[in-house]
Structure 1
Amino acid sequence: MQKKVMKRAVELARKMEGDWVARMALALRQAWKEAKQPKSVVYDVRHQPSGGREWVAEIVGRHPKYKLDRKFETPVERRWSSSGKTGRTYFELQEGRIYEINEPYRGRYFVKVENGEVVGITADAVLGSIA
């Protein structure tokens, strides 16, 4: 991670003007600030009303009746056909969180975001990772 931060700092410093040491100090602060921010990924889910409703929910804990407690996410964007019968719905997923996704015709499945990529996980892994 430190190599990525240094590369980013040099990239930022080259765009600035003034003393190199001052530019690098400022660029390093900015690069570390960027590296510490949680990363997010935009994930698209197929939309087809005849197959059911598509949704994404963050798993936030256990639920006494339904096993998992969920917080449903609001779509970032919808790109549907003019008739609204087909298209894609886009959701923003945060790094390090677990999500359940319901996609028409594919069904429900679990994913998590690791290193900027969406990775599928099993239901048993989800139950094991929740306190």
Structure 2
Amino acid sequence: MISSYTEQRQTALRQRTIEMFGLPGDLCTDPACRRRGRCLSAAPQAPDCLRLLDAAGQTFYRRVLRTCQWADDAPLHFLSHYIGAIDDPYLALVGEIVRRAQPRGHWLHASLPWWYRLSRKSGRRPVSLQAAAAFPARCY
């Protein structure tokens, strides 16, 4: 039971991460993904449309996915980093991916936007893939 739950979590993280790259879209080879506008790939290594990214994009995808897996495994530890580095566009990207991968009603759906509003005293800035990629790599 645990392994199937873990596999479902990993699949959801891979799917939501590839969606942040603007895939799947009209370029995806899977017609179901194109119709729904969401990644439906359950491939254990990575979604099929990952091959559409260049080498730098694939490297950044793997980096984001590793951080998302860490955040999904230790959400309270991640939340403390998220609160402490609220202006970090990379953590904002990771937070949005992890939040979207959670099932509806999960506490991260409400807590991440709430913490962001509390600390910034303003609305959320849009998540930017380019800003996150340009942000220097850190250890979290």
Q: TM-score, normalised by structure 2?
A: 0.25
The structure having more radius of gyration, on CA atoms, is: 1
Structure with the higher strand share, 1 or 2: 1
Q: Comparing both structures, which one devotes a greater share of its residues to helix?
A: 2
